[in-house]
Structures are given as C-alpha cells and as structure tokens.
C-alpha cells in the first residue's frame, strides 16, 4: 500500500467510528483529538480495526505514533507495504 491508500483506510475507519464528524477538511499534521471528538475508546477502536482488517499489531507503547494522520501514515507504511491496495 502507498501513503494515499493508507490515508484513505484511516479516513474510512474514522468515518465508521465517528459517523457524525466532517472528515473533508481533516488536517494531516494536527492531532485527531484536536480536530474530532474522539475519546480513548474511539482510539482503541481505530487500533482494533487496523488489527482486524490488516493484522497489524500495535503495541500500547507505540499508540502515541498514531496521533495525527501524517504520523499514522508514517507509522503504518512499513507495516503495510506488502498489503494489496484496496480496490
């Protein structure tokens, strides 16, 4: 997967977790929690969706790497490099 694909995967997950949020103007370098009303359970849902869909194991000590879109994409790039892009 390339960065644009990973970004879209994250947007799709966020849309399911927070369906009332407007994701059209999501800024890549601003923390998700500053842009959206996400609580810790929502964040865990994101982690669980990544685990379920892509079998990505994210240790709790690395959760801080998933605070914004750009940091999440950077973190996931090496872990999803061999995964097929969504059709």
Angle, nearest 10°, between helix axes 3-17 and 69-80?
Answer: 120
Alpha helices in the chain (DSSP H): 3-17, 32-35, 40-54, 69-80
For the chain, the domain total comes to 1
Output the pTM of the full model. 0.87
The domain that contains 51 carries what CATH number? 1.10.1200.10
Instruction: Write out pLDDT tens, residues 23-73.
Output: 998 999 999 989 998 888 999 999 999 999 888 999 999 999 999 999 999
Q: Which domain holds residue 59?
A: 3-80
The answer to whether position 24 is within a domain reads yes
CA distance 16 to 10: 10
């Amino acid at each position: 997967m390339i960065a644009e694909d990973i970004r879209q995967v994250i947007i799709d997950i966020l849309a399911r977790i927070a369906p009332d949020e407007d994701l059209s103007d999501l800024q890549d370098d601003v923390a998700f929690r500053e842009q959206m009303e996400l609580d810790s359970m929502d964040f865990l849902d994101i982690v669980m969706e990544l685990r379920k869909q892509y079998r990505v194991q994210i240790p709790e000590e690395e959760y801080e790497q998933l605070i914004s879109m750009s940091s999440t994409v950077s973190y996931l790039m090496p872990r999803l490099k061999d995964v097929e892009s969504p059709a």
